[in-house]
Structure 1
Amino acid sequence: MSRSLFSLGVHLYQPPTQLKHVRDEIYRVCYEPMVAYMERYPCIKLSMNLSLSLGEHLPQEYLERLKALYKKGQLEMVNTIAFHPLAPITPRELLVKQIRMNEDFYRKHIIDNDPLPGIFPPEMAFKQSLAKLFSDLGYKWCVADDKIFVHQRSNMEDHLRAPSTWIPEAYGVGVLLRSRERSVELAFKDVFNGRRYARELIIGQKEWREKLHHDGASYLYLYLDGETFDHHRPGLLEHFLRPFCDEISESSEADLVPLNAIYEGFEKKRSCIPHSSWSSGVGEPAFHLWDHPTNEFHQPWNEFIRIAYAMAPSPLSEVLEDLFNRNFYSCSPWQYSMGHKDVARWCLPGFQRIADYYPPSWEKSRLQELINIMYSLTA
């Protein structure tokens, strides 16, 4: 049947070092109203990943409301990595533990023993070896960004570049590629007429299928920071989210579905999927906002992490593992890339505690040198 399937995903996260008053304000203007809108308007259906680093600070009453929406089928939960490390540069052992920690949090508060088939890597930072890890842990699909994948197929006609009737696959894991173009429109452009925007997407998908001579279904999904709604962009809940979902629910040509329905509904094809993130640009290092070879902060930040991991005893002590979890989150180098040096240094007291944990050695001295360099860069 010729039909458009759409999905809308939101990423809810705050770093472990976030200031309480900032986190509380985002809860007041964004997280709580988003759930209230879903409760008031059953047409709103979202896919959501919620990091433990935020979830452990949310009111129990809020988690119970998420669970109620989940049980009604309005909310799909997508797992993520508990404290938001950049997965491609994080040791497998720590990724496995943080993935399981986040899953345990979901099971305790939201999904009980239901299947959890999908996972969102922080920053949508993807490389093919992560698909192997996700497969080993039992995941069927993961989220990634489409820009670099589409670019590597630039020798093809436009309508053949982005998969809309099939799903790329690596190591048996479906890699669901979000539309960066459409997601960025929600984040930055005039989309405050949600009904009109939904109609544009429905028409666009119909035209796409016609170019493909495809008489079956096609899909497109958007995924963005949850904080976009009414924190970064006041009015987006009322003027975009509700009318957008209304329009699709009333359409005879489209459905708003969870990401797992897209995964289950389309053919999978083994593909070469390039390293990428939500921000990767053509001709740039894949993770340029976190690990750029010419960035004066990225280099000591990443060297510190590599040395700290290399020196870690096996098995890790609970103290050291918790320090790694709560300080090696991806925001610090990104904040420096954005010019927010005062925020980039929030991780450094934790880095100091890690350095202090180790016995005297050349490596410990180097860790201290790197901390001093990062403090001087962020002064």
Structure 2
Amino acid sequence: MEKSEFRNLNLLFSIFLHIYQPEDQVDEVLDRIVNESYRPIFRFLIANSNAKLTFNINAVLTELWDKKGYSDLIDNVRVLLERGQIELTESAKYHAFLPLIPKSEILRQIRLNHETNKFYFGPKYQPQGFFSPEMSYSAKITSVVGELGYKYILADEIAYNGKLDQAKFDAIYKIKGTDIDIYLRHKNLSNLIMGANVRSIAEIVPVIKKYSHRPKGDSPNYILAAMDGETFGHHRPGLENLLFDLLLSPDLQIKQIEHIGQIIHRVEEIMPVDCTWASSEKQIAEGTPFSLWFDPDNTIHALQWELTQLAISVVQNTTNLTNEEKMGYYPDVVVPPIEATARKLLDSALHSCHYWWASAKPWWSLEMIEQGAYKLWQVVETSNGSTVKDKEQALALYQRILATAFSWQRTGFVRKLAKYEGSWRKIPFKDRGKQGEYQALLDLLKKQEDISSKKGEYEQAIRWRDAQYKLKNNLDVYDAVHIIDQLRSFVDFREFDDLVKKYAGYKSISPGQPEK
């Protein structure tokens, strides 16, 4: 492929990395992530001044860098901001799941995030966009973001109308009734990169070309790949090299998100639907887009959120605070030391992780569930706004959360939930499709294996050989879908599109991110 051929598409390519660790992350784990992911990425950027991308850094992580002796990362961010190499978005300091908490707590989390990052990163920290943790979207978040003056918000492409492959990327979408732009994450491309299905620049550039919508004429369009930054080097060792190659590729017009609207001038208004970057079409259709954090059928979730609401109410009922202070809870408001302790505990306890680890579909961690519930209990136990009844209720909820979680673990209910969640993808392609379709795919894979071998591309040949093995041995639907996605990068796949239609059910229930 000639470079000019690709660039003539007038395609803008943006990479967004979200990096975050909880306040109580284990020191050894944090050190691994710093040295496997954060330091390699920032050192690469420092050494390559023409490499540009957009980051979200939750301020709780910024503080961890300072407290745990990783100040070099803070220095790197300051330098990169001064150079204009990176754009930073605003977020919630402690990674709270914003759709499910009151507006007052959303405001506080955002203001704390801004104050902390401004302190560490300096005057160049001037975020224009907003990233809601878990890339969650709701109208309530939009309202707060608009009040605070941010220009755009990020969301997954499923936010467009609750369906995949519906959004086009040749216009700037504006949230109807607001002045806020919404930039949509390209799910398939992001997942392809995150899943490490493609590890070389020679493979990924043609994929980007195939995924790009080609508007008529010379009007530009964009693709936004967004994922956790820890994917590169930590979750996927070696994948950081693909990131570096992408950032330096002469075939890609890399742009920070804030600059896309300066190039694409066509605007279209939309009414996004509630979602996260993990939401499936099925969850949205059923009205449960946030089910990994609050599933109406999950007893532990119900108890967690009952305890959460109790903790919030006792802190906000503290005396000596005006209504304005309760709503915004500005960091400079003077409160008694004991109440400051409760307030800080609540800020931290609202992080999204312990709800997620209680979903059991398939994510599960007794330790994380207990840590989150304990913090919330201690908020109520510590706060001056708590009555004796409040404290008794908080303790009872904490005990019920633990008892239920241990019961689920002991009785095998967790495994049952995880098994049910995964059962849909255990029907192999051989049984889902007609015999002719199955054989056609095997023939195509064999053809690609032979072509790669003749070219001396032995790693590719092994890939196609292994794909045949997986299909023949009845491995799950993910394997077939990944094989088809990979084949699209190398062949004209239009004649096989009927194979993909067999996976309409997979598409509607597949999660927004690949499993780690």
TM-score (norm 1): 0.90
Map 1:305-344 to 2 at 5 A.
305-311=308-314, 312-313=316-317, 315=321, 317-337=339-359, 338-344=363-369
| C-alpha separation in 1, matches of 2:376 and 2:207 | 48
Residue 125 of structure 1, aligned match among 121, 136, 156: 136
Residue 183 of structure 2, aligned match among 157, 176, 187: 176
The corresponding residue for 1:164 is: 169
Larger radius of gyration: 2
The 1:134–1:148 alpha-carbon spacing in structure 2 relative to 1, beyond 3 Å, is closer
Assess if the C-alpha contact under 8 Å between 1:41 and 1:242 holds in 2: no
Query: AA paired with 2:32?
Result: E
The corresponding residue for 2:193 is: 186
The corresponding residue for 1:274 is: 273
Note if 1:260 corresponds to 2:285.
no
The 1:72–1:113 alpha-carbon spacing in structure 2 relative to 1, beyond 3 Å, is closer
Assess if the C-alpha contact under 8 Å between 1:126 and 1:276 holds in 2: yes
| C-alpha separation in 2, matches of 1:296 and 1:372 | 13
The corresponding residue for 2:404 is: 377
Note if 1:366 corresponds to 2:393.
yes
Query: AA paired with 1:348?
Result: A
Give 1:345 deviation, angstroms.
Answer: 1.7
Residue 135 of structure 1, aligned match among 139, 142, 146: 146
The corresponding residue for 2:375 is: 350
Give 1:97 deviation, angstroms.
Answer: 2.0
Secondary structure at the aligned position of 1:325 is classed as: helix
Assess if the C-alpha contact under 8 Å between 1:148 and 1:280 holds in 2: no
The corresponding residue for 2:306 is: 303
The corresponding residue for 1:110 is: 121
Give 1:113 deviation, angstroms.
Answer: 4.9
Q: Deviations over 1:327-350 (max 9, x none)?
A: 111000111220222222222331
Give 1:121 deviation, angstroms.
Answer: 0.3
| C-alpha separation in 1, matches of 2:72 and 2:248 | 27
Q: Deviations over 1:266-299 (max 9, x none)?
A: 3333211000001111221110100000112211
Note if 1:243 corresponds to 2:245.
yes
Give 1:41 deviation, angstroms.
Answer: 3.1
The corresponding residue for 2:102 is: 91
The corresponding residue for 1:219 is: 222
Note if 1:80 corresponds to 2:105.
no
Residue 52 of structure 1, aligned match among 41, 44, 59: 59
Assess if the C-alpha contact under 8 Å between 1:195 and 1:246 holds in 2: no
The gaps in structure 1 that reach 5 residues or longer are none
The corresponding residue for 1:202 is: 209
The corresponding residue for 2:335 is: none
Query: AA paired with 1:27?
Result: V
| C-alpha separation in 2, matches of 1:83 and 1:55 | 11
Query: AA paired with 2:35?
Result: R
Assess if the C-alpha contact under 8 Å between 2:128 and 2:150 holds in 1: yes
| C-alpha separation in 2, matches of 1:277 and 1:263 | 23
The farther-off stretch of 337-346 and 115-124 is 337-346
Assess if the C-alpha contact under 8 Å between 2:354 and 2:372 holds in 1: yes
Give 1:39 deviation, angstroms.
Answer: 2.1
| C-alpha separation in 1, matches of 2:349 and 2:126 | 30
The 1:237–1:300 alpha-carbon spacing in structure 2 relative to 1, beyond 3 Å, is same
With CA pairs under 8 Å and 6+ residues apart, which has the higher RCO, 1 or 2?
Answer: 1
The farther-off stretch of 275-284 and 194-203 is 194-203
Note if 1:18 corresponds to 2:25.
yes
Assess if the C-alpha contact under 8 Å between 1:342 and 1:378 holds in 2: no
Q: How many residues align?
A: 364
Query: AA paired with 2:366?
Result: K
Give 1:129 deviation, angstroms.
Answer: 2.2
| C-alpha separation in 1, matches of 2:131 and 2:240 | 23
Query: AA paired with 1:305?
Result: T
| C-alpha separation in 2, matches of 1:354 and 1:236 | 41
Secondary structure at the aligned position of 1:112 is classed as: coil
Give 1:214 deviation, angstroms.
Answer: 4.2
The 1:114–1:187 alpha-carbon spacing in structure 2 relative to 1, beyond 3 Å, is closer
Query: AA paired with 1:128?
Result: A
| C-alpha separation in 1, matches of 2:125 and 2:376 | 37
| C-alpha separation in 2, matches of 1:344 and 1:263 | 41
Assess if the C-alpha contact under 8 Å between 2:89 and 2:130 holds in 1: yes
Query: AA paired with 2:344?
Result: D
| C-alpha separation in 2, matches of 1:189 and 1:129 | 35
| C-alpha separation in 2, matches of 1:283 and 1:192 | 30
Secondary structure at the aligned position of 2:199 is classed as: coil
Give 1:364 deviation, angstroms.
Answer: 3.4
Q: Deviations over 1:234-292 (max 9, x none)?
A: 00112x11222232xx13xx410100011333333321100000111122111010000
TM-score (norm 2): 0.67
Secondary structure at the aligned position of 1:283 is classed as: helix
Assess if the C-alpha contact under 8 Å between 2:275 and 2:289 holds in 1: yes
| C-alpha separation in 2, matches of 1:276 and 1:109 | 32
Assess if the C-alpha contact under 8 Å between 1:148 and 1:281 holds in 2: no
CA RMSD of aligned residues (A): 2.0
| C-alpha separation in 2, matches of 1:114 and 1:376 | 45
